[in-house]
Amino acid sequence: MIITPKIRGFICTTAHPDGCAKHVAEQIAVVKKRGLMANGPRKVLVIGSSTGYGLSSRIAAAFGANAATVGVFFEKPGEADRCGTAGWYNSAAFEKEAKSAGLYARSFNGDAFSDAVKAEVIAAIKADLGQVDCVIYSLASPRRTHPTTGEVFKSVLKPIGQVYTNKNLNTTTGVVSDISIEPASGDDVAQTVAVMGGEDWAMWIDALLAAGVLADGVQTVSYSYIGPEVTWPIYKNGTIGLAKEDLERTQRELDVRLAPIKGKAWVSVNKALVTQASSAIPVVPLYISLLYKVMKEAGTHEDTIEQMDRLFRDRLYSGQPQPDEAGRIRVDDWEMTPEVQKLVGQRWTEVNTENLGQLADFEGYQSSFLRLFGFGLNGVNYAAEADPSVGVMSI
Ligand SMILES: NC(=O)c1ccc[n+]([C@@H]2O[C@H](COP(=O)([O-])OP(=O)(O)OC[C@H]3O[C@@H](n4cnc5c(N)ncnc54)[C@H](O)[C@@H]3O)[C@@H](O)[C@H]2O)c1
């Protein structure tokens, strides 16, 4: 099958298996170039391991520390005549690379919010690894079925209290225009907190603890975002931001529950980057395009793999996590420097459809987006037949 990108708004409905494999290989190469970290994690569970920050976390742990990894994700396998999702192909490629490097890797494709998947993963950890010493929680989902009540929650990206109007980028056409987003109503906040807040992270940690599969000194990390004031109404102070506040509350609770085994829970605030999840947030893609331009010019741009490698190498496993005043790890530190923010802020006021090409890295945004689905990678022959029915070895 010849596979080409089919983009609908902020979604690409096709993915290229060879391109995704190349994307994974490039991430592995970034980590390998930096060498093995001294006291890295040994056995790592990554929940949400197939794309974005979770995939890069899995790669950083495996190839930066020779860690055994267990990955959990919710992806669609390909068939002979139909594409699977990028996360499926990424996971297939990851396992292949891990196996040829002699590293343990096992994956689970299912609903991480369910009790059944938790039980299956715990049984596998018990049987194969005994315990894990690091748990990464990197789920991003629009909905969650509660495991005990069966209620289906839907997360929304809305401001709170009043309509938010700001500039927005149509990432297909490059048109910059104002967008107005209606504020949350009804139980929007509670629904979003139920999906993207800390309850499921705590359920995972409680289940792992109760099963005795968390090693002494375990570290668990969940990811958050803060960003600049211009995006606060839709992010930090919006429905998603309240879910992230809940995550921070959960982190403090988990610290207490993990204390008897000298464990530690963290929230790591990461940089704004193009991922499947972030491309769905209004306003944020314009900010990311402006940010990429400034950070690339300053030589401080990182993608998810550089971010996650730095998180593991320089913070979690360096003995110097450098938490901020609220106890969070900040690998968004380079994004949030005053120089970067001043320039992005200036350009934010000036940017329009006509000068987008000069002020922002729209090309970089679009190519990063396509790369998420395995398109536009060097060395991949996109005119050749590709086999969409690639399997993930351990599934
Ligand atoms: N992208 C950013 O700019 C950014 C910045 C800072 C923090 N974060 C945070 O990082 C985390 C991960 O986001 P991302 O951008 O990497 O997203 P992503 O969409 O690339 O990855 C989401 C992952 O969750 C998995 N998933 C979703 N629903 C699932 C389910 N029900 N069961 C099992 N797996 C499921 C997917 O398969 C995938 O592996 C989120 O908490 C997000 O808020 C993202």
| Residue whose CB lies within 8 A of the most ligand 1 atoms, among 90, 113, 139, for a mutation test | 139
The neighbouring-strand residues paired with 176 are 169
Q: Which atom of ligand 1 is nearest to the CA of 277?
A: 19
Distance 352 CA to ligand 1 centre (A): 30
Tell me if 67 sits within 8 A of 103, measured CB to CB.
Answer: yes
| Ligand 1 neighbours by CB, cut-off 6 Å | 48-54, 72-75, 87, 111-113, 138-141, 223-225, 270, 272-273, 275-278
Q: Over the stretch 326-345, which tens digit does the pLDDT of each residue have? A: 999 999 999 999 999 999 99
- Supply φ then ψ for residue 139, to 5 degrees: -80, 140
Tell me if 61 sits within 8 A of 131, measured CB to CB.
Answer: no
**If you average pLDDT over residues 93-111, what whole number do you get?**
98
Domains delineated in the chain: 7-372 (3.40.50.720)
Q: Which atom of ligand 1 is nearest to the CA of 270?
A: 6
Q: Which of 223, 244, 246 is CA-nearest to residue 234?
A: 244
Phi/psi-derived region of residue 97, left when phi > 0, alpha when psi is between -120 and 50, beta in every other case: alpha
What whole-number distance in Å separates Cα of residue 79 and Cα of residue 95?
A: 19
**If you average pLDDT over residues 58-74, what whole number do you get?**
98
Q: Over the stretch 27-50, which tens digit does the pLDDT of each residue have? A: 999 999 999 999 999 999 999 999
Q: Which of 89, 223, 225, 235 is catalytic?
A: 235
Distance 354 CA to ligand 1 centre (A): 33
| Residue 235 is among the residues annotated as catalytic for this protein | yes
pLDDT tier at 323 (50, 70, 90 boundaries)? very high
Q: Tell me the pairing of strands 68-73 and 11-12.
A: unpaired
Q: Over the stretch 246-257, which tens digit does the pLDDT of each residue have? A: 999 999 999 999
Distance 19 CA to ligand 1 centre (A): 20
SS3 assignment for 306-349: HHHHHHHHHHHCCCCCCCCCCCCEECCCCCCCHHHHHHHHHHHH
